[in-house]
Amino acid sequence: MSQLKKHKKILIIIGIGIFLFICSQLYLHMEQEKVKEENLSFEETLYGAEEKGEEPEVIVETETSTEIVVDIKGAVNYPGVYEMTTSDRVHDAIKKAGGIVEEGDDSVINFAMKLTDEMVIYVPLKGEEGIESLLTPEQNLHEKNEEGVININTADESQLQEIPGIGPSKARAIIDYREKNGVFSEKEDLKKVSGIGDKTYEKLENSITI
């Protein structure tokens, strides 16, 4: 009888052990599932917008632009007057005019120059004489006229150095300014170029034109 009791005790202890083991495994499984759900919830929150085709809001600082009007003449498919913006370049204007015709000469065109209001872009034909820039044929295309005055809108780097007080570095700065901001609207705008202050401008004022 005592042996039977001992056997029952052992079976009870074993049963309790098995029960506790099963309970511990169930608990671990539930905890793992909980962790998985939390990770999934985090991933859905992080990538949910992307999966829906939405993009996170990005604040982009854009350059303000103003509407302007330019006149495109010469060897383009559709010469005429076009509405553009100050953020556009010569390339954009010529593209809007249908591009340069096969006989056109693009070697004298500064496609990177920014547009300005009332600007005239002239595209010459290949072999056309007397054309040295993209600017209007109504303007004086000779950078230096008979009075020795140099056009700061059309002069190249070497010609700019003929202006009193303008050396290689300042001439390069003038070219860079034109490429970034477009042609000068008035002579005094030259003072906006780095390295050209009031004193320098006073010395060269009578030697330049636009």
- Name the pTM for this structure: 0.40
Q: What is the mean pLDDT of each run of 10 residues along the chain (210 residues)?
A: 66 78 77 66 52 51 73 91 91 93 87 85 79 45 56 86 88 88 85 88 88
Q: Which residues, in sequence order, are CB contacts of 190 under 8 Å at separation 6+? A: 152, 174, 184, 196, 201, 204, 208
Token pair, residue 142, equals: 């000779």
pLDDT of residue 37: 66
- Topology adopted by domain 63-141: Ubiquitin-like (UB roll) (3.10.20)
Question: Sign of torsion, CA 187 188 190 196?
Answer: positive
Which residues, in sequence order, are bridge partners of residue 120? 71
pLDDT of residue 4: 65
- 198: part of which helix (H) or strand (E)? helix 198-204
Q: Which residues, in sequence order, are CB contacts of 57 under 8 Å at separation 6+? A: none
| First and final C-alpha spacing in the chain | 124
Token pair, residue 198, equals: 């009031």
Which residues, in sequence order, are bridge partners of residue 135? 121
Number of C-beta neighbours around residue 18 at 10 A: 10
Q: Angle at Cα 24 formed by Cα 20 and Cα 30, nearest 5°? A: 145
- How are the residues of the chain apportioned to helix, strand and coil, as percentages rounded to the nearest 5? 45, 15, 40
Number of C-beta neighbours around residue 122 at 10 A: 23
Domain ranges of the chain: 1-54, 63-141, 142-210
CATH of domain 142-210: 1.10.150.320
Kindly report, residue by residue over 16-54, the tens digit of the pLDDT. Answer: 878 778 877 777 777 777 666 665 555 555 455 445 555
Burial of 187 (0-12, 13-18, 19+ CB in 10 A): middle
